[in-house]
Chains A and B, each alone.
Chain A
Amino acid sequence: MSTEGKGEATTTTASPTIPLHRQELLKWQGWGYRDSRFFINSNGLIEFSGSRYLLSGHVLPRLKDWMFNKLNSSIENYSPCVQEPNPDFIADPILNNEFISDFQSTLGTTIQYSVDKNDRLFHGHGHTLEEIWKLRHGGKFDRLPDWVVWPKQHSDVEKIVRLATKHDICLIPFGGGTSVTWALTCPTNEKRMIVSVDTSQMNKILYLDEKNLTARIQSGIIGQDLERELGKKGYCTGHEPDSMEFSSLGGWVATRASGMKKNVYGNIEDLVVHVTMVTAKGTIEKSCLGPRQSVGPDIHHFIMGSEGILGIVTEVTMKVRPLPACKKYGSIVFPDFECGVACLREIARLRSAPASIRLLDNEQFLFGQALATDNKGMLHSLVDNIKKLYITKIKGFDINRMCAATLLFEGTTNEVNQREKFVYDIAQKYNGIPAGEENGLKGYTLTFMIAYLRDIGLDYRIVAESFETSVPWDRVIDLCRNVKKRIITECEKHGVKYPPFSSCRVTQTYDAGACIYFYFVMNYNDIRPGSDPVHIYELVEQAAREEVLANGGSLSHHHGIGKIRTKWIKQAVSNLGVGTMVSIKQYLDPNNIFGSKNLIPESTESEEHLKAKL
């Protein structure tokens, strides 16, 4: 099957990492690059393939034991995924012939498009467990996009949207495809033709304004390309979400993304100076680049977080910073999680947080130990052992209670050194002991590995997912404890035989609270006969989310609502809040062209109202 698009090849200022047909480079049924994956090698140990990452080509001798002991999985319970998507599962597209002929006659020469089954499949999902589960079993989705188009610039998007409005086509914007909220899944009851608008070809940095330290960037650029290209000129945006290898600028804006180093650079709402979005009624943007404006409610604030239901973000003016002179990792171990949280709170109170500070709980700390790479010789392990003895015996830390924080400092050498000393001094007051640069670095590399780890887990009947929330400081400890415990009790209730791995980490600190990230890993062997692991999984996750909300946590810190969390949004922002969103949607998109049905629950009053009218 070949692409039917006839667009000419264009040269971009950035050399994009992601090809037009994503599946050529990326796994179609899992996370990340095709060449990078964990596998059990001939020695029976887990190894990471490829050469892209720090861990690539390394063996992780302790990981398998951890997996088999802690999660009670075994080598016999191997459940590999299918190698190719099952073509029978992919239904024939619903085509609107008028639109197609109109498109081909007016845009067909400039804008690439495709009806290829694999392209359609790739654009019909994100990366939640349920979606990956379906892909691994052949890719049976109820509804997929019928077409994929690749605009190259703002005007292309305008033309596409104009045509879509004319012919009543449903558009779903697609950026990096890393959504974990079902935001990319097509509504099953959508009877119109669905066109996925892939922005990956809008990947140019249009200009860099060194006087104002801003850059005008097309929305399809992915994080790693953006940083690399800016880096060549000595700048960076500093926006580094964990998904930055694959996620796009437009996606960040549409979901209110948050970057790891927000303490220095800010979250996306702090970074964005100007946004241009194409809605079903035309283009919406501000006419000024002023740094702060008092012109009524900020229109950026309903563009940010609109999750593709209002329009397509095409261009963004973003702040940039000169590359930092010094970058230094660090780590601290604490006797227990409570001490760690108190220390983070104190650091936040003094507003002296490094670029990034993350606190892992004990479970994750131990898991991090299991991810150690192959022994680097006798001396190294000897030093490790002495360190361990010092901490457990002399300092009296309990290995089953201690936890660790990883740190990243950025700035001038002087700044970094000062900040480092300051942070370690605070840590000391909370019984924290500095644990070295290497551990910090390891901690941050782990970030990019986590998603790959899920795939090998799935190979051995282990399902895993993460979710996040933000919460005021005084509730952090209670929330972490209660949610972790809720996960365990819910698993018991639903007949999961082996205790799940439920763990959390504090990933961001704010003046008034923190962002908390949870991992939940469950071995679904020997579950109650007749029950579906994914279903159990969803029930547990829902219960965990309910618990988060009951604990005063937010519905989401940066993942967004998508379709997976719409049922709680009324509770989160009140009925009137949802009503306001509905009326913005009504005004900008009365015919529901951007019909991904994210954010707003299906049965809102307005719809009921409409039905009553009909």
Chain B
Amino acid sequence: MSTINPIEYDDLIYGHRQSSDLLWSLKNWHDPLFDNKEQSIKSKKLINKTTQVSSIITPIHYETLPRNSEQIKSDVLNSLALKYTLETLGNDTNANEQAKSIIQEMSHRLNIRTARFLAFIFSKIFNQVYENIYIDRNGIHCLYKLYCLIPNNKLPIIPSSPITISSTLFAILNTFSRSSSSSDSNLLTTPLSSPLTTKHYITSPRIIYLPTHRSYMDFIILTYMCFEYNIPLPCIAAAQDFLGLGLLANLLRHCGAFFIRRSFRSDLLYWTIFDEYVKTHLIHGDYPLEFFIEGARSRTLKTLLPVRQGMLKSCLECYFRRQVDNLILIPISINYEKVLEDNLHANELLGIPKPKESKSGLFKSIQILKKSFGTMIVKFGDPIYVYDAYELFKKQQENKLNSRCDSFNRSIPRGVQPRFTCQLDGFNELELNFVDQLSYRIVHEQQRLTIIYPITVVAFSFLSSFTGMPRNRSISLEQVFADKNTLFIEHSDIVEYYSTRCQIFWPSNNDKNNLKQRLLSLYSDVFDISGNNHLKLKITGDNLIDAALLMKLIMYRNTCLHLFAKPAYILLACQVNSQASISYQQLKTYYHFFIHLFAYEFVYDQCPVDNIDDQYFDRYLTYWINKNYIFHIDESTFKINSNFLQQISLITNPFEQYARAYLLIYEQENNLTETSLSVLTKAYQKKLLTKFDSQNIINILASSSNVISNALRTLNSSNASKTLSEIRHILTKIFQPVSIHLRAKL
């Protein structure tokens, strides 16, 4: 695994520290696709004419683009899809008004002037809070290529002269003139003279950014970056809870956030408006979209299941209907060394409720600006072209489909479906499977871009040593370095099976002092120094506070667990049987058992369907055999090599802890009659918290609302073949000695 090389990154902070934020926020910003100057009176006339005939055919006029938010709103309100839905709803004026208020509530008001204002504020905040913001330069080059711009190898030149009144005035004037003057020497990007792009906007890329979601900052950072690099600002899908932020929500609106309800499956009117609103952006191609495929901020810092499939479906439907010729999906991984709201997350997981989004909460949070949050690294995945992905998928599925052809249960061909209506069931089976596969692929791509920060390694070391020596809560830096080597250097091969693009952020030359200083300054609430180079946890004695502390460690450890999950399952299966040998078949059964057990806990590159034969199994097994961690007894039986027990347990430890936490949860008296998962989770959590013990890491894990709900979902999803008692039985069998011990303890 390679260490981060700052040369491959642009540092946004470095540039800004040397120059004026004000001038930067007033810099020339030029949409590479559209030339606003062209919007003459003549094309205004064109707009009216098109709206006149919009009921007949709506050609998209280059001259009318990019639309402002008002035009987008009225486009949606006047859309045939909405008209159709209103008709099906009975065409009452009430629904009409409702539609208007929905769109009012949803729509963004992206405009460059407010974006500048926010850019100014956030450049101040970022400079304060972050040491570095590294942007993956290759990713930016790739974006530039998509927009047919010439990448500039330097950071944008920001006027570094002291702010004079005249220069400020000039900059302000510049902002208010609708377009940037081309004479400006400051233009960093010049359009390539490609025969296509200069001529037709139609070839402008339809880009969808798909970042990971770990923090509120995710909303800002991409827009901030786009502003910096002069590429179109995205429209961001945000959850409606944010509307509680009042003024701030409005500011977010002005830099492109639009707000959607959490669930509206049954609300046809809302669905139509949402669907149309998303599509209109892609069809016209005037703004790229950005949404979080995980659907929510991951409190655990682990990848969540890609649940935002409704949004993805709406986007892809534009492609399936061929209203756009292709879509470009860009998975992005935003990595935080220290997550802004890690305290909140830890509390929330332990059942302390998330404070409602409010202004007062916001003011309180302002004090966090005094802290440092280390380095943020934004990495871009390779763009996924939907056309290529779908063609490939079709080819793979060809054989399967032919056998399942049922002429009495046909799906309506795309060519026959009306394109103007909002269809909830327009997707055929193939397309649905594709959406599913694609969404897993996206999160997988995001996972592949993970950055490992020192805190992850430290958390790993701490937590794995925890069960063994509960009273001694310190760990030497030597141990951290050793663990880092075991995990990420020795086993870089296995990590690279998974991804060659994971990188580790580590002080150069393994500088211990540097690392120590860094950890102490960033995580002053977690660590203390004790003795010579020993890190010590700040344990208070208060049950809940200590638990939150450990929970934070668990969270940071989570960021890298997906790298080890599958290979570790093999070791885990061997390890529990360490006395006896284990047969190939048995090993495989256990391996698949774990994959299914943790289907919601750890996200893989595909949804683990029952009885799926995992292709990586043999690969991982051979790897461990080559490493001598496992050796052959005879042809098809294996045994773990006890010489490497320490390394093995380092790797398997987290998973063992999770498995035991699951067992603990399953051992609770179950009242599975309750159907609502969230209610059920709360009930379980309450029960588990009564027996809470902050000394026991498994106990903490089992009290985490996330782990509980994942464990319960596993129960629900697995079909009748795996009932609760069965899972419990297998788990008990594997971890028997401990579970007996635990029972005694409880």
Contact = CB atoms under 8 A, between A and B. Distances in A.
A371 interface: no
B62 interface: yes
Interface residues of A, number: 37
Nearest to B80: A474
Nearest to B42: A396
Contact of A475 (B49, B59, B195, B419): B419
A429 B46 CA distance: 10
A479 interface: yes
A481 B202 contact: yes
A342 B62 contact: no
Interface string A468-512: 000001111111011001101000000000010000000000000
B405 A575 contact: yes
Contacts of A574: 407
Given A336-B62, A485-B203, A575-B407, A478 B323 contact: yes
Contact of B61 (A338, A479, A499, A552): A338
Interface in B317-343: 322-323, 325
Given A396-B42, A400-B199, A431-B46, A477 B59 contact: yes
B340 to A, nearest CB: 42
B199 A551 contact: no
B165 interface: no
Interface string B415-431: 10001100000000000
A488 B194 CA distance: 13
B49 A488 contact: no
Given A429-B49, A482-B322, A575-B405, A552 B202 contact: no
Contacts of B405: 575
Contacts of B49: 429-431
A552 B417 CA distance: 9
Interface in B170-205: 195-196, 199-200, 202-203
B322 A346 contact: no
B325 A486 contact: yes
Interface string A573-588: 0111000000000000
Contact of B325 (A342, A482, A552): A482
Nearest to A493: B388
B56 A345 contact: yes
A485 B199 CA distance: 13
A336 B62 CA distance: 9
Contacts of A349: 56
Interface size class of B (residues with CB under 8 A): 20 to 34
B407 A551 contact: no
Contacts of B59: 338-339, 341-342, 477
A75 interface: no
A431 B322 CA distance: 27
A396 B40 contact: yes
User: Interface of chain A, helix or strand or loop or mixed?
Assistant: helix
B414 interface: yes
A479 B57 contact: no
Contacts of A550: 322, 414
Contacts of B612: none
Question: Chain B: interface secondary structure?
Answer: loop
Contacts of B672: none
Contacts of B196: 485, 488, 499
A475 B415 CA distance: 10
A167 interface: no
Given A499-B195, A550-B322, A551-B322, A474 B57 contact: yes
A401 interface: yes
Contacts of A362: 199
A513 to B, nearest CB: 11
Contacts of B62: 336, 401
A263 to B, nearest CB: 19
B742 interface: no
B53 interface: yes
Interface string A218-248: 0000000000000000000000000000000
Contacts of B202: 481, 485
B157 interface: no
A553 B56 CA distance: 19
Among A401, A431, A474: residue with most chain B CB under 10 A: A474
A479 to B, nearest CB: 7
A549 interface: yes
Contacts of A552: 322, 414-415, 419
A401 B38 CA distance: 14
A430 B419 CA distance: 24
Interface in B10-47: 40, 42, 46
A345 B414 contact: no
Interface in A394-411: 396, 400-401
A338 B61 CA distance: 7
B57 A341 contact: yes
Interface in B46-67: 46, 49-50, 53, 56-57, 59-62
Contacts of B407: 574-576
Nearest to B319: A550
Interface string A118-148: 0000000000000000000000000000000
14 contacts: A339-B59, A342-B50, A431-B49, A475-B322, A475-B419, A478-B322, A478-B325, A479-B322, A485-B325, A486-B325, A488-B196, A499-B196, A574-B407, A576-B407
Interface of A: 336, 338-339, 341-342, 345-346, 349, 362, 396, 400-401, 429-431, 473-479, 481-482, 485-486, 488, 499, 547, 549-553, 574-576
Given A349-B56, A477-B59, A547-B322, 6 more contacts: A362-B199, A400-B199, A478-B322, A549-B415, A550-B322, A574-B407
The 8 closest A-B pairs by CB, nearest first: A338-B59, A552-B415, A482-B325, A551-B322, A345-B57, A481-B202, A485-B325, A342-B59
